[in-house]
């Protein structure tokens, strides 16, 4: 399936909605609850880590008073920006599993009585 397409109504979902709420995203067209698949998350995270390592390698020789923190800061920013942009472009959506039902007090009392 194409990136950022609702599997229920086949309409495209905007990238900003996908990165803002990747779990429990509601399709703006059919209101189906969606989530990003693990494959899209893995790709975006891997690309972000690669970008962070590359930036850190280039900046670690920086001198000066802030030379020890700037490579870490730049690597973090690269990871954040690249992983967000990658998720916006490769995110594959799927229907979210139903939310677990909370245990009511009547259920918990019957459950507790079975154990005694």
**What confidence tens digit (pLDDT) does each residue in 36-53 have?**
888 888 999 999 999 999
b vs e for 25-53, b when ≥16 Cβ sit within 10 Å of the residue's Cβ? Answer: bebeeeeeebbbbeebbebbeebbeebbe
Averaged confidence pLDDT in the chain: 83
Secondary structure of residue 12 in the 3-state scheme: strand
The residue ranges of every structural domain in the chain are: 15-96
Q: What is the pLDDT of residues 61-71, one digit of tens each?
A: 777 777 788 88
Partners of 94 in the beta sheet?
35
Q: What is the pLDDT of residue 75?
A: 94
The pTM for the full model equals 0.73
* pLDDT at 114 > cutoff 80: no
How far does Cα 79 stand from its chain's mean position?
Answer: 13
């Amino acid at each position: 399936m194409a990136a950022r397409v609702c599997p229920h109504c086949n309409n495209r979902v905007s990238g900003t909605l996908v990165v803002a709420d990747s779990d429990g995203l509601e399709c703006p067209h059919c209101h189906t609850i969606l989530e990003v698949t693990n494959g899209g998350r893995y790709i975006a995270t891997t690309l972000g880590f690669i970008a962070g390592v590359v930036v850190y390698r280039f900046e670690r020789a920086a001198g000066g008073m802030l030379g020890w923190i700037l490579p870490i800061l730049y690597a973090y920013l690269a990871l954040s920006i690249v992983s967000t942009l990658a998720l916006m472009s490769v995110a594959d959506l799927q229907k979210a599993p139903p939310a677990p039902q909370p245990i009511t007090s009547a259920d918990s009392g019957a459950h507790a009585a079975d154990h005694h």
